[in-house]
Structure 1
């Protein structure tokens, strides 16, 4: 069996750390980068320049590889982003799968999202048996749901095998960009937030996600999806954890959804014209308000030995990493 691994989305939140882990494990790693330049700490992967819409680049990326990790995705909580999201999340995924088939790759580990599943409210559990959000009002959730459905259909003839990993909100150290969740932590650590938002989300450590991904090289069943969830926590809970760790006071005031929603509805079009990402959109607020508190990772635990660490440990390690790397 080849030790060659290909990775798309290697400059992203999960992808960058996954490449580090794969290199540490002794795999020969090849990554697809479009325009970005990324430096990994020690060993550098081989780089193929191109996009998800470039069949020749994709063939070069996956040639002679045993496994492809497909993480490249457009993540957006904007209300009107359908065309851009479909180009990357849907058609880009199909292109990667077709290249893997042409080059006789054994397995594709496709990173989807828990947002691909229907969410009916905070008290309603979500598992892999939950229907896909194929008709979601969220362009992002819909694009991930349709791409997940097509990827699993693609797996039926086992050329290549396809398994899907569906993480919740990824958080923790090694957040180089940083991500939106990382920016939130940095602002909390630095005492820069005047007020908090209500609601919460299920949070999972990037290290636990990548451990499951590496286990998925040889474990997990073809044609199956696996949710990688951690612990539900309100923004208020995370703020209190950071206060305990840093000794800084956290904001005592929470802005209600009734105030945030109309502001977000007015701000989203303006930030779109300015080509800036809004702090909050109506879609982001909907997720915080109605996201399930009960997202199961039992299936991943059985397949990969997935066992997410306590959220307090994740926040503490993130704080330490941000401090050591000059973000605080």
Structure 2
């Protein structure tokens, strides 16, 4: 696949996140000059220590005008920042979800356009799609707003904001990339996958939870973003969801690579709800992230079997490929071990 000559510089939101930091690294590797939006300079310096070619920009998606000047002179914006759903703390967070994910996206694409940028890649989610359990889901299987939890609703509305902007500005080009459950190295947050890896490695997983997932390497999703910027079609969605797996399939792989014993029994659903409620109380008291919230349990039960995704379009138009799951898990575990997380 040939690079597009006019794309030499990029602005990346959510740069210290799992996807964002891997995207920044891949852009640098491909010769881009990168401005990386971070909410903490200290965290940005920690994440990108020793990486030449990245310029940190302090800012927050809640106040795009405050950092909008840094958009000047960029060829493309990769918008990976998002306020995540209720996994970590529990409770309702619709106000923040709308302010960051919906209103922030609208403000970002408006300011990018005003800065002369004409190429934009929106990080969407597989949550904007829906289908019958067990059936292959592609980019045309759009989820109705009424069927979405708050996080998925915010992503649907954010995507609609981007598409509406395109309808009003024919000279603007944007594509949307839809990742699955991302895993990978340098997940300093950590995200839910990083928290899961740590909990399994430290023996904190009490049993197997229900549901199925589409597991993908964040580095492959980063490649999909760059390919979408260079070769994606205007206003098109591209799946980068990865491999369908149940927890019963995933946990033993993780246990073998981390060299730890893993549970084999399923947790009863009433116990899941009780554990989630207890973890939410812990999160409110401690302020620490949790693996299981009530929203997570509800989502797992509702979405069970709805993680069979058809990547034919992304393979055809973006030449998307996925590395083996075992490599992703091994690299993730190795990164946490090398940084003394467990």
Q: Is the 8 A contact 1:153 1:223 kept in 2?
A: no
* Counterparts of residues 181-220 of structure 1 (less than 5 Å): 181-220=193-232
Instruction: Please give the alpha-carbon distance, in whole angstroms, between the structure 2 residues aligned to 1:96 and 1:284.
Output: 29
Is the contact made by 2:18 and 2:184 (CA closer than 8 Å) also made in structure 1?
Answer: no
List alignment gaps of at least 5 residues for structure 2.
Answer: 1-5
Q: Which residue, out of 269, 279, 295, partners 1:283? A: 295
The TM-score with structure 1 as length reference comes to: 0.91
Equivalent in the alignment of 1:302: 316
| Residue of structure 2 equivalent to 1:258 | 270
Confirm or deny: 8 A CA contact 2:75 2:117 kept in the other structure. Answer: yes
Query: Which shifted more, 177-186 or 139-148?
Result: 177-186
Residue in 1 aligned with 2:3? none
Correspondence for 1:248? 260
Counterpart contact for 1:199–1:234, Cα < 8 Å: yes
C-alpha separation in 2, matches of 1:225 and 1:174: 27
Shift of 1:62: 1.4
Matched, 1:323 2:321: no
1:143 is the counterpart of 2:154: yes
When normalised by structure 2's length, the TM-score is: 0.87
Q: Contact conserved, 1:172 with 1:206, CA < 8 A, in 2?
A: yes
Of the candidates 20, 31, 37, which is equivalent to residue 32 of structure 1? 37
Aligned to 1:64: 73
Tell me if the contact between 2:75 and 2:118 (Cα under 8 Å) persists in the aligned partners: yes
Deviation at 1:21, TM superposition (A): 1.4
Task: Look up the match of 1:80.
Answer: 92
Tell me if 1:7 matches 2:21. Answer: no
Gaps of 5+ in 1: none
Moved more, 170-179 or 219-228: 170-179
Q: Deviations over 1:34-76 (max 9, x none)?
A: 3352121421522222222435434312111110011111001
Whether the aligned pair in 1 keeps the contact of 2:215 and 2:242 (CA below 8 Å) is yes
Q: How many residues align?
A: 327
Closer, same or farther: CA 264–247 of 1 in aligned 2, 3 Å:
closer
Bigger drift between 259-268 and 173-182 goes to 259-268
CA contact (8 A) 1:48 1:60 kept: no
Cα distance, 1:120 vs structure 2: 4.8
1:96 is the counterpart of 2:101:
no
Query: Relative to structure 2, which stretch is displaced further, 5-14 or 262-271?
Result: 262-271
Q: Mapping of 1:99-178 within 5 angstroms?
A: 99-117=111-129, 119-120=130-131, 122-156=133-167, 157-178=169-190
Q: Determine helix, strand or coil for the equivalent of 2:195.
A: helix
| Structure 1 residues 182 and 132: CA distance shift in structure 2, 3 A | same
- Separation in structure 1 between the aligned mates of residue 27 and residue 141 of structure 2, nearest angstrom: 31
Query: Of 207, 232, 236, which residue of structure 2 is paired with 1:224?
Result: 236
Q: What's the offset of the Cα at 1:269?
A: 6.5
Q: Relative contact order, CA 8 A, sep 6+: which one is greater?
A: 2
8 Å CA contact 2:181, 2:214 repeated in 1: yes
